[in-house]
Structure 1
Amino acid sequence: MAGIYFHIPFCRQRCHYCDFYTTTQLNKKQELILALQKELLLRKSELAHDEIQTIYFGGGTPSLLNKNEICLFIESVKEHFQVSKNAEITLEANPDDLTTIYLNELASSPVNRLSVGIQSFHDADLKLTNRRHSAEQALQCIKMAQEKGFHNISIDLIYGLPNSSLEKWNQNLEITKDLHVQHLSAYHLTYEKGTVFDIWNQKKKIIPISDEESILQFQTLVEWAVKNNFIHYEISNFAVPDYLSQHNTSYWQQKKYMGLGPSAHSYNRDSRSWNVSNLPQYLAALSKDELPSECEWLTETDKFNDFIITSLRTRWGISLEKVQQQFGTDVRESLVSKVRPFIDNKKIYEKDGCLVLTNEGVFLSDMILAELIKIEDD
């Protein structure tokens, strides 16, 4: 079982919080489409013995692709790989791209899941973050998508924004409830180095909200999820039953995935690779039938750390049985010893032989993980 990810790096404008690799060189779209097909062909042997269960178009702005371009990629995957007949096929989309005409096209394509980058239902927040759409466009695009037959829709929201309040965050959540979407990805704002928000923060042009306010917004989110039958299955992800993101869950469960496009990452349990984060270099390499990527083989320490980091993010937590099976008794005992203080101070709890973050522990997950991972091979 495996997944395939296409990175479509084009954006009409850059959001103030974003540090993903993107470019505004939309005139390079046709070159990218050809290069992605070439990369897929050159790498078809990598997942030759795996069934493809998920296909994901991320970015950037994948909704800048038209229906024919999306279908071309999906057909190419089906030509070179064994694809599950019930494969989850997700398209990330911006609300301003989800017009009636575009949704009509998507409804007749193999895409069966939409992930819509709303971020907030407040126009002031959207202006601050440099989003192109309005709050009204965000509302209407979800309703139109549902009318066109999409019943597996995820939306993205950001909490902890400058000038945000618990009242505004509650309003975002109530609107989400009223829209009857199946999935919510809610991310705490981070001031990533080099972003506009990071620069503004350093220059005191914006004032981050306090940690206490951020924690209160997160607690409100968790309480809202319970009340509205959303499963909190990963630190930032919530879904109604049967609508967990299969693609993202495969990341957290250490399943294989192939990333195509500039800056895309791949993983096959024994190694991981990443493509160059530069569109001209990516195109130049593939024009010469060369893969624009670097690869590293994973040590046992790397594999252990990957397992800990991905597992602890989820509602299933770290299975001590799997730790023992994959890494041995000594590693299991060392982990149990390291985790004991976090159990004692109620940041982690043990359930059915698994170590799971408490809601309080979620906000300290980076610090906790730093204590649990191994630095080097024994």
Structure 2
Amino acid sequence: MSKQSSSRMSKQSKSKHSSPSERLGEAIGIYIHIPFCKQACHYCDFHFSTSLKKRDDMVKALAKEIELRKDEFKNVVVETIYFGGGTPSVLTIDELRFLIESVYNNYNISENPEITLEANPDDLSEDKIIELSESPINRLSIGIQSFFEDDLKLMNRAHNAEEAKACLSLATRYFDNISVDLIYGIQNSTNEKWLQNIETALSFGIPHISSYALTVEPKTALASFIKKGVVDDVDDELANEQFNILKDKLETEGFVHYELSNFGKEGYFSKNNTAYWQGKPYIGIGPSAHSFNGKQRGWNIRNNSKYIKSIEEGVLPIEIENLTKTDRYNEYVMTGLRTMFGVSIEKVETEFGESYKDYLLKNAEIFIQQQLLYIENNHLKTTKKGMFLSDGISSELFKLN
């Protein structure tokens, strides 16, 4: 499951076949989308294909896009490289090395970049883990989702519960920086089962956990099953309960809840994800990947064949949205409230103007009264109760024009 996300709050100004080119700041991230999976998870709406026939052509196209876009950020340093998907661990070590070398050949790379690979347990044999540990990749994000067989079957995951445990036993021998994904709010789950999931992950000494509520996305198999009555709909109250169990348990174990869905020990926060929440620029490589330079957002075409053909012709298949000041304010509020850092009231006034600050404080007042928000050191933050509702709260603080 890819962690790269993007807000598309406005489509007022678009152009095709161009790309964000303003160079902001001194550090950027590069996200590389690997659009292949062995099988389709029932809940997933990310872009991928279960056919690997175009894999060779895709890898070549990804490397070429990396080269084609090297002039977008000339005088900056790449501090993170993130392989998302899809399932990046379906690639061979040689293919991964080739793509990493392509980045190094075309960009200035920091001395010790964070290089993350999203991986599924069924791909992580001991030989594969050893190969990865001997590569430049220094962080694994493993899609466990659950340690229970019935949950994995419901989600149509490619691995089983024993593979989930076996891969963590192996991975922790060769990697220090590991994150696991867990999903809560699964139908027919119980709070006892959920706590066991958390405790199982902790038993391996994992320093970072990303956890997401099971959501029903349109046009997914899960949405179809619910509509047909094959499975129950998700229970928001159960999800809220399990979110609080997660937060309480991990915080007692020394984890910092630094973003709505992310918990890390000190020194193990995701640099890639943190940069996104802080509004740093990034380049998205691959079909459906998003890019951001501070004032523009771009997204590549969601079609593997068309993407490959366009890149082979030297044309970037990207659509651009010029962000207005209001768009940027809305995005800052949305990302800020999801983090422990909150929304800087001073920054809102400095970057967007006094009218935006007044609007923010006026509309936040009702949530402060409901003890969902509070102000600390001139930062607007969510309370423990408000954190789970942060996306909905932030939408009420958005400006519409």
TM-score relative to the length of structure 1: 0.98
Correspondence 1:173 to 2:187? no
Q: Which moved more, 1:243-252 or 1:197-206?
A: 197-206
Question: What SS does structure 1 have at the residue aligned with 2:144?
Answer: strand
Q: Partner of 1:126 in structure 2?
A: 152
The share of aligned pairs that are identical, in percent, is 46
Report deviation, 1:4. 0.1
Correspondence 1:303 to 2:364? no
In structure 1, what residue type is equivalent to 2:82?
Y
Q: Partner of 1:143 in structure 2?
A: 169
- For 1:251-266, what aligned pairs fall within 5 Å after superposition? 251-266=276-291
Instruction: Tell me, yes or no, if the aligned pair for 2:343 and 2:379 is still in contact at 8 Å.
Output: yes
Instruction: Tell me, yes or no, if the aligned pair for 2:116 and 2:140 is still in contact at 8 Å.
Output: yes
In structure 2, what residue type is equivalent to 1:252?
W
Instruction: Tell me, yes or no, if the aligned pair for 1:163 and 1:209 is still in contact at 8 Å.
Output: no
Q: Partner of 1:219 in structure 2?
A: 244
Question: What SS does structure 1 have at the residue aligned with 2:53?
Answer: helix
In structure 2, what residue type is equivalent to 1:168?
K
Q: Partner of 1:293 in structure 2?
A: 318
Report deviation, 1:364. 2.2
Residue 274 (structure 2) aligned to one of 249, 254, 274: 249
In structure 2, what residue type is equivalent to 1:66?
T
Residue 222 (structure 2) aligned to one of 168, 180, 197: 197
Correspondence 1:318 to 2:352? no
The whole-number CA distance in structure 2 between the counterparts of 1:37 and 1:111 is 17
Q: Partner of 1:108 in structure 2?
A: 134
Gaps of 5+ in 1: none
The whole-number CA distance in structure 2 between the counterparts of 1:336 and 1:64 is 48
Report deviation, 1:216. 1.1
In structure 1, what residue type is equivalent to 2:165?
L
The whole-number CA distance in structure 2 between the counterparts of 1:177 and 1:287 is 45
Correspondence 1:19 to 2:45? yes
Q: What is the root-mean-square deviation in Å for CA atoms of aligned residues?
A: 0.9
Q: Partner of 2:94 in structure 1?
A: 68
Q: Between Structure 1 and Structure 2, how many residues are aligned?
A: 375
Correspondence 1:368 to 2:393? yes
Residue 47 (structure 1) aligned to one of 50, 73, 78: 73
Report deviation, 1:367. 2.4
The whole-number CA distance in structure 1 between the counterparts of 2:221 and 2:383 is 33
In structure 1, what residue type is equivalent to 2:166?
Q
Q: Which moved more, 1:184-193 or 1:213-222?
A: 213-222
Q: Partner of 2:299 in structure 1?
A: 274
Q: Which moved more, 1:199-208 or 1:232-241?
A: 199-208
The whole-number CA distance in structure 2 between the counterparts of 1:63 and 1:251 is 23
Instruction: Tell me, yes or no, if the aligned pair for 1:191 and 1:197 is still in contact at 8 Å.
Output: yes
Residue 349 (structure 1) aligned to one of 356, 368, 374: 374
Instruction: Tell me, yes or no, if the aligned pair for 2:338 and 2:391 is still in contact at 8 Å.
Output: no
- For 1:143-162, what aligned pairs fall within 5 Å after superposition? 143-148=169-174, 150-162=175-187
Report deviation, 1:211. 2.5
Instruction: Tell me, yes or no, if the aligned pair for 1:161 and 1:208 is still in contact at 8 Å.
Output: no
Please identify runs of 4+ aligned residues in structure 1 that moved more than 2 A.
208-212, 362-367
Report deviation, 1:209. 4.6
Instruction: Tell me, yes or no, if the aligned pair for 1:159 and 1:214 is still in contact at 8 Å.
Output: yes
Q: Partner of 2:210 in structure 1?
A: 185
Q: Partner of 2:15 in structure 1?
A: none
The whole-number CA distance in structure 2 between the counterparts of 1:25 and 1:329 is 53
The whole-number CA distance in structure 2 between the counterparts of 1:191 and 1:212 is 15
Q: Partner of 1:232 in structure 2?
A: 257
Gaps of 5+ in 2: 1-26
Instruction: Tell me, yes or no, if the aligned pair for 1:164 and 1:209 is still in contact at 8 Å.
Output: no
